[in-house]
Amino acid sequence: MEQNISQRAVFVFFLVLFCIAIGLAGKLIAPFFSIIILGIVSTGIFNPIFHFFQKKMNPQFASVFTCVLIFFVVFIPVVFFVGVLSKEAFNLYVMAKDAVFSNQLKDLLENTKALERFNELLIRAGIEKTVTWDELINPISELGKFVGFSLFEQARFITSNVFNIVLYFCLMLIVVFYLLLDGNKLIKYMYDLSPLSDEHDAQLFEKFKDMAGAVLIGNGLGGLIQGVAGGVVFMGLGLNSPFLWGVIMGFLAFLPIVGIGIVLIPTAAILMLKTRVAAGVFVLVFYALLSWGIEYIFKPKVVGDRVSMHPLIVFFAIIGGLKTYGLLGIIYGPLIATGFLTLADIYFSSFQFMVEPGKTIKE
Q: Return the top range by mean pLDDT from 97-106, 154-163, 217-226.
A: 217-226
**What is the pLDDT averaged over residues 350-356?**
71
From 160, 193, 226, give the residue that closes a domain: 193
Among candidate residues 169, 105, 92, 177, the one with its CA nearest the CA of residue 138: 105
User: Is the same domain home to 96 and 163?
Assistant: yes
CA count, 13 A, side-chain hemisphere, 4: 1
What CA–CA distance (Å, rounded) separates 196 from 194?
5
Residue 291 has pLDDT above 80, yes or no: yes
Determine the pLDDT at residue 247: 80
**Position 162 confidence tier, pLDDT thresholds 50, 70, 90:** low
CA quadruple 141, 146, 147, 148: dihedral sign: positive
Percentage with pLDDT > 70 across the chain: 70
Own/partner pairs for 348-352, CB < 8 Å, 24+ apart?
350/200
| Co-location of 170 and 220 in the same domain | no
Contact in structure between 110 and 213 (CB atoms under 8 Å)? no
More confident residue, 180 or 162: 180
What one-letter code names the amino acid at 352? Q
- Give the predicted TM-score (pTM) of the model: 0.68
Q: Could you please report the per-residue DSSP string of 230-270?
A: HHHHHHHTT-S-HHHHHHHHHHHTTSSSSTTHHHHHHHHHH
Same domain, 129 and 241: no
Say whether both 325 and 357 belong to one domain.
yes
The residue ranking higher by pLDDT, 130 or 199, is 199
User: Domain of 105?
Assistant: 1-193
- pLDDT value at position 20? 92
For residues 177 and 306, state if they share a domain.
no
Instruction: Say yes or no: 202 and 184 in one domain.
Output: no
**Whether residue 248 is found in the same domain as residue 147:** no
pLDDT digits (tens, 9 = 90+) for 71-118: 888 877 777 776 666 666 666 666 555 555 555 555 555 555 555 665
Number of domains composing the chain: 2
Closest CA to 101 of 265, 198, 239, 8: 239
Please say which residue of 193, 220, 240 terminates a domain.
193
CA distance 281 to 268: 7
Q: pLDDT tens digits for 121-147?
A: 656 666 666 656 555 556 655 655 566
- Do 168 and 224 belong together in one domain? no
How confident is the model at residue 136, as a pLDDT? 55
Q: Are residues 219 and 302 in the same domain?
A: yes
Whole-angstrom distance, CA of residue 342 vs CA of residue 319: 20
* Shared domain check, 146 and 4: yes
Q: How many CB atoms sit inside 10 A of residue 274's CB?
A: 13
Cα–chain center distance at 205: 20
| Boundary-marking domain end, from 152, 176, 193 | 193
The mean per-residue pLDDT over the stretch 306-313 comes to 70
**213 and 189 together in one domain:** no
pLDDT of amino acid 363: 45
Closest CA to 260 of 236, 235, 295: 295
- For range 171-190, the mean pLDDT: 87
Residues 138 and 174 in one domain: yes
Do residues 62 and 50 lie in contact, with contact meaning Cβ atoms separated by under 8 Å? yes
Please tell me the least confidently modeled range out of 25-29, 51-55, 249-253. 249-253
